[in-house]
Amino acid sequence: MRITLALIVGLLLAQVARAEPDSFDLGTGRDGVLNLNVGQGIALSSHAPLGKSVAEGGLELVVSGLKIAAGDLVMIHESTGLSSSADVGNTKPVSLTGSVTLGRWELARVEKVSSSTPALLTLTAPLRYAYATGRAQVVRVPEYSDVVIQEGARLTVSPWNGKSGGILAMLVSGKVVNEGRIDADGLGYLGGVFRAAADLNGCTELELEQGKGGSARGEGVAGTASRTGLATGRGNLTNGGGGGNCAAAGGGGGGHGGVGGIGGRTATGDGARDQGGLGGAALSYSVFERFTFGGGGGAGQGSDEAGSNGAAGGGVVFIRATAFDGKGVYSASGSTAGASTGNDGAGGGGAGGAVVLRAVDILNCGGVEARGGAGGNTQLDKQPFGPGGGGAGGRILLEGKTLACAPNASAGSAGVSAYPGADSYGAGPDAGTSTGTVQEVAQPFQVPVTPVITAPVSGEASTTTRPRFEGTAGTTGPVVHIVVDGREIGATVPGSDGRFTYEPTAPLSAGVHDVVAWAESLGVASKPSTPVRFTTPAVVLADGGVVQMAVLVVPSNGDTVGPTPLFAGTAPNGTSVGVVIDDGPDNIVPLDLLGRFRYQVPDSAPLSVGTHKVTVHSHNEAGDDGPYSDVVGFEVVVAGADGGTDGGTDAGAVDPATPMVLVPEEGATVDPTFMFVGVALPGTTVRLEVDGAALATATADDEGVFRHVLTADTALAKGAHKVVAQVVTAQGEAGLRSPEVGFQVRGPTDLDVGCGCGSAPAGMISLWALVGLGALVRRRRMRS
């Protein structure tokens, strides 16, 4: 498929606000010239798994064992761990678009590197996206001035090991002259490993334990283990090919740009049944914004020690340069599976990976390949056994002023049986659906022109909370992203004259704001525009008061939660609160009489596994937005098969019946006599425990609020304390417990002079309760 300028705007609109903000162009050339002589080979190996999850806007990466220095360029790539995976055995295309993070990447410059282990990399600019540990890797990206690969020489990369590797990435400010080979062949997702089982017949299940006649599936974007914890059986899991079933069926080929081929049938003694591993599914995504590896093939099945493993998929080759020349080859093809030498099935071939070559000038070479690997043959001629399915073709993107490279993303052939006339014995692939994709962009690679914001002007006081943004940008099909106070609020496409306008769909909070714009074209970003500072008017209530900032109490920054978490906090005033998750729509919830709010993510719309962010803001009677709170980052995990969690400590959602202590808040300092305040379901009885000892019981009222006042007789001692609220059932049994809240009690000499706090019967009710009382007074005044 050849792409021209006439198609570019359509492509951009399909991926608006999703492409990576990458303005590093062709790099700095700081690594000098790379010259590989005849017969010489080098494997780039500077990569490591991300050691700690990082939120959007983060400036630090934690890694171990990465060879890196200040000033280096790194790529952060989410390589594995697709959480919303398709069901086992579903060979329909898997979409990696929208909010799905798998395959997403960005480049970042390292400002400094700590001497600690693991190392802390401080970046020069915030990350645009969040990345999760266990899913993302960090790769050093060399910046060469020129690259020369002589005939017979090879440049490659260390393989994907389940955590990192498999990506050959570099920027070249000059020319790449390749007379040899630059490749990541067979360095992607791993193939299933053959293990002999008992001599069994009649297997049919998509998921089947190895000891009961299933064989290992190949690795894909969701790994190998399904939601049940099994990694064996003929069912594919996303683009990983399924393993053959008993008796002696072949493994399925891996998928990527197309679907992998099915494995060959069972032995004739088992009825020659169609129980070969299913081919891995195709992956649907824009190669301008993300890329991934080819799926691994599934293992063959058998009871002897003669079967073969599934083959590994292709890795990734990512190069940008001024020009490419020479007769050499660039390749990220899948591996061919080994043969079965006895009474067992053979493994499936690996799918082709991804090759991305982008040139300012000519792109000339001897070939670009992301071919699928062939399925394994079965060599015994006494009777037919299942050959392996062929791997699907991968993904190729070529961009340059002149394109003179022959691309090949063909599928790998099915393995064949040595038994006369058996041929592939039912093994695939289907040439119509297994071929990969090739995209050719007939224009020079270029960084878009930096936009200029013309309205509002610097220092302008807007008369509305929805100011119109105007400016100029390039005319070669960019999308302009509008970012206010570090948060993207929308995007627009300039007209033919390069002018753009954008009107916010949601009001901005009152006060001072900074706006910048950056342009994006085919996955490459401009530098951000010069910031423009402006102000918006205050959002006022009907009684003339100014809407104040809401405060989110639960969750805290960095918390681990389930897929339907509870968000709760307080607001000094306003009529409702909007809870905004991941820059999505307002989830509007009411405030109770004490100015508190709570929002539970519904079971029908759970959050995806991974990192997220949330912010809250109050509204006035007209629905105008008050100021946004600080952004809170958190991570969603799900319960693992062993009852534990997958990457976190809190496996489930917060049950709405869980009580919460709101007063005192974490870290607060209070008087010896004060009022405990919390929330629970209306009518619920809770037991308050202080420092592990039962203090009192209280019942939540019709608003879901429970209270307990400490008197002089029950005053707490000076110092640190901890409180927990626990539900008590009608039968007197202990139920759900609130999170523990730590607080300090001040001594008599610490009391605030002149406020009357220390002598108040209920003590100082705390700021939270005063806020609630203020809200109650205001609401009564509004009703009168």
Give one word for 241, left, alpha or beta, with left for phi > 0 and alpha for psi -120 to 50: beta
Residues 6 or more apart in contact with residue 784 via CB below 8 angstroms = none
Residues 6 or more apart in contact with residue 652 via CB below 8 angstroms = 562, 639
Q: Under a CB-based contact definition with an 8 Å cutoff, are residues 277 and 125 in contact?
A: no
Question: Residue 243 has what pLDDT?
Answer: 98
Considering only CA atoms, give the Rg of the chain.
30
| Residue appearing with tokens 């393993």 | 243
How far, in whole angstroms, is CA 603 from its chain's centroid? 21
Residue type, 768: W
Q: Cα separation of 750 and 764, whole Å?
A: 13
CA angle, corner 560, sides to 558 and 563, nearest 5? 130
Cis peptide upstream of residue 247 (ω within 30 degrees of 0): yes
Q: Cα separation of 705 and 684, whole Å?
A: 9
Q: Cα separation of 505 and 191, whole Å?
A: 48
Q: Cα separation of 234 and 240, whole Å?
A: 11
Q: Cα separation of 573 and 591, whole Å?
A: 9
Q: Under a CB-based contact definition with an 8 Å cutoff, are residues 624 and 504 in contact?
A: no
Least confident of 343-352, 355-364, 766-775: 766-775
Least confident of 17-26, 112-121, 183-192: 17-26
Provide the pLDDT confidence category of residue 712 given band limits of 50, 70 and 90: confident
Question: Residue 656 has what pLDDT?
Answer: 63
* Residue 756, CA distances (Å) to 361, 712, 752, 763 in order: 78, 15, 8, 9
Range with top average pLDDT, 78-87, 471-480, 645-654, 762-771: 471-480
- Which pLDDT tens digit goes with each residue over 761-770? 333 333 344 3
Q: Which residues share a beta bridge with 29?
A: none
Helices (H) and strands (E) in the chain, counts: 3, 51
Q: What is the mean pLDDT of residues 659-682?
A: 84
More confidently predicted of 4 and 690: 690
Q: Cα separation of 60 and 68, whole Å?
A: 14
Q: Which long-range contacts (CB under 8 A, 24 or more apart) does 538-544 make?
A: 538/510, 538/511, 539/465, 539/507, 539/509, 539/510, 539/619, 539/620, 539/624, 539/625, 539/626, 540/620, 541/573, 541/574, 541/575, 541/620, 541/621, 541/778, 542/620, 542/621, 542/782, 543/778, 543/781, 543/782
What is the enclosing helix (H) or strand (E) of 783?
helix 766-783
Q: How many CB atoms lie within 10 A of CB 42?
A: 13
Question: Residue 763 has what pLDDT?
Answer: 33
Beginning with the edge strand found earlier in the chain, give each strand of the sheet holding 329-331 in spatial order: 41-44, 154-157, 181-183, 329-331, 367-369, 407-408
Nearest to 558 by CA among 224, 30, 145, 130: 130
Residue type, 561: V
More confidently predicted of 758 and 484: 484
Q: Cα separation of 155 and 737, whole Å?
A: 58
Provide the pLDDT confidence category of residue 85 given band limits of 50, 70 and 90: low
Residue type, 182: I
Q: Cα separation of 76 and 63, whole Å?
A: 11
| Residue appearing with tokens 């951000």 | 528
Q: Under a CB-based contact definition with an 8 Å cutoff, are residues 452 and 466 in contact?
A: no
Q: Under a CB-based contact definition with an 8 Å cutoff, are residues 150 and 38 in contact?
A: yes
Residue type, 386: G
Tell whether the torsion through CA atoms of 693, 698, 699 and 700 is positive or negative: negative
Tell whether the torsion through CA atoms of 499, 489, 26 and 330 is positive or negative: negative
Q: Cα separation of 301 and 214, whole Å?
A: 7
CA angle, corner 185, sides to 179 and 190, nearest 5? 170
Asked if pLDDT for residue 12 goes beyond 80, the answer is: no
Provide the pLDDT confidence category of residue 777 given band limits of 50, 70 and 90: very low
The count of residues in the chain is 784
Cβ-in-10-Å burial (0-12, 13-18, 19+) of 718 comes to: middle
Token readout for 115 is 């001497």
Token readout for 375 is 């399925």
Q: Which residues share a beta bridge with 107?
A: 75
- Which pLDDT tens digit goes with each residue over 423-470? 999 999 976 789 999 999 999 999 899 999 999 999 999 988 889 999
Least confident of 9-13, 187-191, 477-481, 585-589: 9-13
Q: Cα separation of 184 and 439, whole Å?
A: 19
Q: What is the mean pLDDT of residues 82-88?
A: 77
Q: Cα separation of 456 and 469, whole Å?
A: 6
Q: Cα separation of 349 and 389, whole Å?
A: 6
Provide the pLDDT confidence category of residue 2 given band limits of 50, 70 and 90: very low
Q: Under a CB-based contact definition with an 8 Å cutoff, are residues 45 and 315 in contact?
A: no
Tell whether the torsion through CA atoms of 546, 547, 553 and 556 is positive or negative: negative
Asked if pLDDT for residue 144 goes beyond 60, the answer is: yes
* Domains of the chain, each with CATH number or no CATH: 20-180 (no CATH), 452-536 (2.60.40.1220), 551-636 (2.60.40.10), 660-783 (2.60.40.10)
Provide the pLDDT confidence category of residue 360 given band limits of 50, 70 and 90: very high
CA angle, corner 704, sides to 613 and 597, nearest 5? 30
Least confident of 85-89, 151-155, 241-245, 333-337: 85-89
| Residue appearing with tokens 């303005």 | 23
Q: Cα separation of 369 and 351, whole Å?
A: 12
- Which pLDDT tens digit goes with each residue over 274-291? 999 999 999 999 999 999
